[in-house]
Amino acid sequence: MGGRIASRLIDAGHTVVGHNRTQSKAQWLVDKGLRWADTPRDVARAADVVIVMVTDSASLESVALEPAGFVSGVRPETVIIDMSTISPSVSRAIAERVRQAGGDMVDAPVSGSVLTLEQNKLSIMVGGRAATFDRIKPLLEAIGPKVTHVGDNGLALSMKIAINLSLTVQMLAFSEGVLLAEKSGISRETAVEVITHSAVASPLLQYRGPMVLGLPAEAWFDVAMMQKDMRLAQELGRELDVPLPTAAISNEFLTAAHAMGLAREDFAAIFNVLASLAGRPPASRSS
């Protein structure tokens, strides 16, 4: 997702300076016009606005706080936009370090997938100071058309975690419905067609529901990444005294998917866990 966002900004005419911990993965962007920087610090020194998207809290702490991390390159007026989905408390702590260095930082996770980015339907939530949001909003609108300021630092992450919790729960409930219809004698294809055009159909089910007929060759958002977000949800639930019973159950199906060797498949593969329990064939992997 981070690489495709960089590509979109290049296409929009922005000068993009970039770094990836695995340089070879960014070569296609260099070929497209990205200016390579050897470290996150070099990116921060070269850019007025720095967009970061990494896997988890530990990864963000590494690229932010290591000796050549972006915090050490922050200049007055530098804005860090962190689009990772990580712990809100970790994000707040790093934002404070950025401010001590003279810059500012917002959390700006996205809701959507590579497909929604390509369709220009990506939604972006922003947590941070209102004045900083106003400054960066036009840039974010070049990435996705819906950009919403939800409050102070960390709150956009709380919002993203709440959304991703629901995605997994919806996918599991959809899988239950498809398998119940299938074992009643309705074809899987017909069940998917009917449910994804019914009163319960959501954007998630409309673009991910067909995956129970064939998992994508390249995961849009894999089981391992989704389970990371479900753990964040459960941690936040415990912190805020919010019971999350359906999240807990859904997370167990992600754990089972791991055990079945599906960690790198799209998280729609939780269908295969339930199908196995129901004695039905799994969704095959599309070529």
Condensed to tens digits (0 to 9), the pLDDT of residues 118-151 reads 777 788 999 999 999 999 999 999 888 899 999 9
Domains and CATH numbers, the chain: 2-152 (3.40.50.720), 158-278 (1.10.1040.10)
Of the candidates 207, 94, 108, 90, the residue with the CA atom closest to the CA atom of residue 159: 108
With a cut of 50, list the residues of the chain below it in pLDDT.
Answer: none
Q: Which of 16, 136, 143 is nearest to 79 (CA)?
A: 136
What is the CA angle 57-45-5, rounded to 5?
Answer: 55
Distance CA 171, CA 58 (A): 28
Exposed e or buried b for every residue in 217-226, given b needs 16+ CB within 10 A? eebbbbbbbb
DSSP codes joined into one string, 71-101? GGG--TT-EEEE-S---HHHHHHHHHHHHHT
Residue range 8-18, pLDDT digits in tens:
889 888 999 99
Bridge partners, residue 104, by sequence? 79
